[in-house]
């Protein structure tokens, strides 16, 4: 089956974290702020998601 060898699986993009619906707007705002500060796109996405999720956990 094509696309199922270990090498091909490694090539595939990493799975993004799931963002709860009520936090989507907050995450996208944070991502755009981080990328505006000069972070690379992938790094801004990862950091934005992680920061927002950790903030929402602290509030609970």
Given a contact cutoff of 8 angstroms between Cβ atoms, the answer to whether 48 and 31 are in contact is yes
Q: What six digits make up the tokens of 7? A: 């090498």
pLDDT at residue number 34: 94
Q: Determine the longest span between alpha carbons in the chain, in angstroms.
A: 47
d(CA 2, CA 9): 10
Please tell me whether residue 19 adopts helix, strand or coil conformation: coil
Alpha helical stretches, state H, 5-40? 6-11, 24-36
What pLDDT tens digit does each residue of the chain (60 aa) get?
566 777 776 666 666 778 889 999 999 999 999 999 999 988 999 999 999 999 998 888
What pLDDT does 60 receive? 80
The alpha carbon of residue 8 and the mean position of all alpha carbons in its chain are separated, in whole angstroms, by: 22
């Amino acid at each position: 089956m094509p696309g199922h060898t270990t090498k091909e699986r490694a090539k595939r993009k990493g799975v993004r974290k799931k963002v709860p619906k009520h936090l989507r707007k907050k995450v996208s705002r944070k991502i755009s702020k981080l990328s505006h500060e000069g972070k690379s796109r992938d790094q801004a996405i990862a950091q934005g998601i992680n920061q927002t999720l950790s903030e929402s956990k602290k509030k609970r």
